[in-house]
Structure 1
Amino acid sequence: MNVFPNFGGVGGAGELRLIVGALLTFVLIIAVLMLIVCAIVWAIASANGNYHAATKARTGLFVAIGAAALAGAGVAWLNFLLGVGTRL
């Protein structure tokens, strides 16, 4: 008796890849826009001596960098898992 995995048993890997890719694209676009806005606010607030706003903008900048890194890592992780899933 030979037992083999059913590779066609779970459908929709292509659709899942498209949906997650689209969502992560939106996250990446918003993170880059936040990065630009926070950098501008940080520069203006620091130049005018408003250190409270500069601190908030710096925190927003670091959060935007983290979100962009996680979005990029999420695409790589999903592609890895889908690649491993087809080889099981």
Structure 2
Amino acid sequence: MSSIDRLIILAYDPGITPNEGGLPGLSVLKSVVSSINLYGIIAVVGALAVSLAVWAWGHFTGGHNSEATGKKGAVVSAGAALGLGAANGIVMFFSALGSQVK
């Protein structure tokens, strides 16, 4: 196989693009994913509250391990909240970036 044939194979466009009306149940799937995102955000709020309480407890009782664990939990909870809140934007950004690849 010559290098030109390989280039032609690599340049082949299969013509596949996202089709919103392609399958039934898309609105149900969107609703389910939105609900999962909501449950995740609620769980993060609870985890943040517990982590901050552990951090304060460790600080005021002199438990350095508890204090460090509470700090870690607070940072992880904040990161999870950031990821859950930005999930749509992240996916849209990389999807748009991927559609520009030629």
Structure-2-length-normalised TM-score: 0.64
- Where structure 2 has 5 or more consecutive residues not aligned to the other structure, the ranges are 1-16, 97-102
**Residue 7 to residue 41, structure 1, CA distance change in 2 (3 Å):** closer
Q: Which runs of 5+ in 1 are unaligned?
A: none
1:49 aligns with 2:31: no
> What residue is the counterpart of 1:29 in the other structure?
42
The structure with higher relative contact order (CA 8 Å, sep 6+) is 1
| Structure 1 ranges of 4+ moved more than 2 A | 5-13, 75-78
User: Which residue identity is paired with 1:18?
Assistant: S
The structure whose residues are more often helix, as a share, is: 1
Residues paired across the two proteins, number: 77
Measure, in 2, the Cα distance between the counterparts of 1:44 and 1:38: 10
1:65 to 74, 78, 81: 78
Change (3 A) 1:63 1:52: same
TM-score between the two structures when normalised by the length of structure 1: 0.73
> Which residue identity is paired with 2:28?
E
What do you get for the CA RMSD once the two structures are aligned?
2.3
